[in-house]
Amino acid sequence: MTSFGQRHVLALHSAPITSLIFSQCGNWLASGGEDGFVGIWKVLDGQLEQKLDLRIGGAISHLCWLSTPSRHDEHIRCLNLVIATSDTRIRLWSTDTETETDRLKLKPLWAFTAFHASRDQVECMAVSEFGSRHLLAVVGGTNLVLYSLEGAETVKLLVTEDFQATARTVHFTDGGATLVVGFLESRELLVWQVEPWEKRMHVELNTRIGHSAWSPEYRTLAVANLVNGVDLYQQLEPPVWNKTLTRSMVINNVKQVAFCNHGRLVVSGGDIGRALVWNRADGEVVQMLDHNTELPIQIIATGSTSLGHTIATGESGGSCSVFLWSEGLHHDKPSPVTRRRWNRPLRDSILVSSSVLLNVTLVILAALLLHFLDISGYLSCINDTFLYAWNR
């Protein structure tokens, strides 16, 4: 079974990580945080390639990579990054650099307001290449919008939908021909046919939908259920519950879920500094990715590089670092840029030993004080006086 070892620790953000996404080629990782910055990282060496300042828009809500033909040569595929910020704006940063090169320099291209009829914050985005067009689906609050991106330069609004419930996740399936939206409190799962636009399914699941992921290889939907772990559903129309990947819920907040290794593994955020990796087939936990912190790990992403499959896990506080885990590395291999951290069992044993030593020292000091001051007679006198007063 595949195992992952820590490769790099990426330090940039000063506030909790809010979004992580690998590029389609696997060479680049984008990280977004509540501090309003986006980091573009080289996956292979963990170096920061570019730092984007989006503080004018507030916290980063969500990130998506988009691969489009170059404006100068349609045979060259170029990378674009779609960035959603808390001011409800969506921005596209673009480059003419080929996706496989070792250098990447993104420049701002355009920006627009995601939801024209409301000020809801973007919760999730999804992109898909559908025919000659690129589609961008955006959900947030009670809204769904679908845009067509013509060569990454022209944005055209195709569809708007308003709901009574809070939309939480969105996915393209079937090569972009189908769109799936999950809802938080209402537990609903809605499926649309993209062209022509038509609702194909409306079903209610057994639990809330905190986050979800889709595996096209196994046609499986993973749902973070906000109760006891991750539910796996086979197919979509209708979804058939298969199993629950169980984990303890110390803190009931949303923790992202993703598929890895072509759908064979399921990765989820977790409590007390650990992300979890399950075997999808038998539902067993195969590894815990430990940050050595007490804070929850909520944001995760998976990708594939020339080195194999890769997982990124982001911290929700503390140092706000991003950990990169690569397939085949030894679990305990230190990263060359890892900050010095306490080993958790060693730290606990040191704290217990220190507490015992402190208590013994206080007892010895008290005994010495009584010996040198010889106050036992005074204590006896005070006790006799108290008893006399009580009997009176």
Kindly report, residue by residue over 52-75, the tens digit of the pLDDT.
999 999 999 999 998 887 766 667
CA distance 270 to 242: 21
- Mean pLDDT over 44-48 rounds to 94
The rounded percent of the chain whose pLDDT value lies above 90 is: 64
What integer pLDDT is reported at residue 372 of this predicted model? Answer: 52
What integer pLDDT is reported at residue 249 of this predicted model? Answer: 80
Per-residue confidence band for 125, with pLDDT thresholds at 50, 70 and 90: very high
Q: What is the pLDDT of residues 220-275, one digit of tens each?
A: 999 999 999 999 999 888 999 999 999 888 778 899 999 999 999 999 999 889 99
Q: Which of residues 286 and 345 earns the better pLDDT score?
A: 286
Given its phi and psi angles, is residue 194 left (phi above 0), alpha (psi -120 to 50 degrees) or beta? alpha
- Mean pLDDT over 114-139 rounds to 87
Q: What is the CA radius of gyration of the chain?
A: 27
For the chain, the structural domain boundaries read 4-341, 346-391
Q: Is the pLDDT of residue 375 over 60?
A: no
What integer pLDDT is reported at residue 68 of this predicted model? Answer: 80
Q: Which of residues 211 and 272 earns the better pLDDT score?
A: 211
Q: Of 143-152, 177-186, 233-242, 269-278, where does mean pLDDT reach its minimum?
A: 143-152
What is the model's pTM?
A: 0.82
What integer pLDDT is reported at residue 350 of this predicted model? Answer: 38
CA distance 166 to 142: 5
CA distance 163 to 183: 10
CA 7 to chain centre: 18
What integer pLDDT is reported at residue 272 of this predicted model? Answer: 86
What integer pLDDT is reported at residue 223 of this predicted model? Answer: 97
Per-residue confidence band for 358, with pLDDT thresholds at 50, 70 and 90: low
> CB of 67 within 8 A of CB of 80?
yes
Q: Does 2.40.40.20 match the CATH number of domain 4-341?
A: no
What integer pLDDT is reported at residue 129 of this predicted model? Answer: 80
From the list 158, 37, 176, the residue with the least C-alpha distance to 93 is: 37
Per-residue confidence band for 349, with pLDDT thresholds at 50, 70 and 90: very low
Q: Which residues pair with 215 in a beta bridge?
A: 220
